[in-house]
Amino acid sequence: MNICRRLLWAVVWTVVPQAAAAWLATTPALAGITYDMVNVGNPGNANDTTGYGAVNDLYSIGKYDVTIGQYTAFLNAVAATDTYSLYNASMATDLNVAGISRSGLSGSFSYSVITNGGSSANRPITYVDWRDAARFANWMSNGQPTGAPSSTTTENGAYDLTHGTFPAKNSTNPNTGAAPTFFVPTENEWYKAAYYSPIKGGVGSPGYWSYATQSNSAPGNQVGGTANQANYFTGSGYSVTQSLTFSASQNYLTDVGAFSGSASYYGTFDQSGNVSQWNDLSGAGGGTRGYRGGSWNYNSAYPLSSADRVDGQYVGSGDGTSRVGILLAGPYIAPVPEIDTNGLTHVIALLAGALGFLERRRLRRWHPSMG
């Protein structure tokens, strides 16, 4: 009987801690920011009729745009001096998209999310150029470090920004010795995640939708769970106000994922509407950069569609930056085996019951009343 008890206790003290450790390993870290990614499978797909969308590899891409709250955390981590103008004053003054204020003097700048028609924390960041996006990707790939811009914080990682304005993506992050975990998607990666479906024409019949809402019809613009909706200007007006009247003091951005019934096939949101997103075109260095996706103030659905693209070196406060944000990509994420917590609870209950039974047997056997 003693041997049985010892064996059962050995199982409890071995299985329970290991199971708990496995569960904790699947729980996001509490420190820093969390950026949700979705996997994009079906490698080797053909191009769309537009000539874009073919990707030979598995990869992941952001479920949502980088938010104002996430970019604020980035600024507070690396921009106390703001050597590379990661902060644009229009982030506070352009009330149509504003979301971040800055206080203090150079060397001790601090950044805060603005309340602008409600909290701006979950709205997409705007007024970012391609190099801002690359530095954000470097920071994420380097583990969200704190400190002045350097090769280990913002200037290297996914991209070596110490050599050229538009470098090619690094195959290896020199700070980790592994492939970059975050980067700006190529145009084909962005396009596939937005418009492709391996079952568009039925099981085993792939194709491309015209909009990133899994539709060939122009979206509506009602916020909520209705299918095929997006944040842009339609005949009923702006999405946020449902009014044709423009106001310079109105915030027209919606929270990322607010159109909850309008995901792409792979589960991304807002690749049509809200704000456009930077891409890396071919992924090679030295070329131009562009963006896709349309935004809140476009007055037709065409810029939201697969037919429209912007190709140009927009890098400062020029054309498009009030309408352009950041969507990151990364390596394919291997699925984590699910833990059957109900089953684990059942096993623990059975073990506890067995131990209790043995203990009761022991007490009955040796109780003084038994003689």
pLDDT for res 322: 81
List Cβ neighbours of 14 (8 Å cut-off, separation of 6 or more): none
In this predicted structure, which of 34-43, 206-215, 318-327 has the lowest mean pLDDT?
318-327
When pLDDT is averaged across residues 94-99 and rounded to a whole number, the result is 95
pTM score, whole prediction: 0.82
- Residue 154 CA to residue 65 CA, distance in Å, equals 19
- Consecutive H or E run containing 302: none
DSSP class of 210: S
Q: Is the pLDDT of residue 3 over 60?
A: no
- Residue 292 CA to residue 308 CA, distance in Å, equals 7
The pair of structure tokens assigned to 333 is: 């994420």
pLDDT for res 202: 81
In this predicted structure, which of 126-130, 216-220, 353-357 has the lowest mean pLDDT?
353-357
Q: Answer yes or no: are the C-beta atoms of 354 and 1 closer than 8 Å.
A: no
Q: Is the pLDDT of residue 58 over 50?
A: yes
- Residue 367 CA to residue 371 CA, distance in Å, equals 7
Q: Is the pLDDT of residue 320 over 70?
A: no
Q: Answer yes or no: are the C-beta atoms of 130 and 315 closer than 8 Å.
A: yes
Closest CA to 282 of 52, 34, 20: 52
When pLDDT is averaged across residues 226-243 and rounded to a whole number, the result is 97
Strands (E), 67-154: 100-103, 110-113
The pair of structure tokens assigned to 354 is: 């067995």
| Secondary structure (3-state) at 364 | helix
- Which band of pLDDT confidence, cut at 50, 70 and 90, is reported for residue 23? very low
- Which band of pLDDT confidence, cut at 50, 70 and 90, is reported for residue 349? low
- Which band of pLDDT confidence, cut at 50, 70 and 90, is reported for residue 345? low
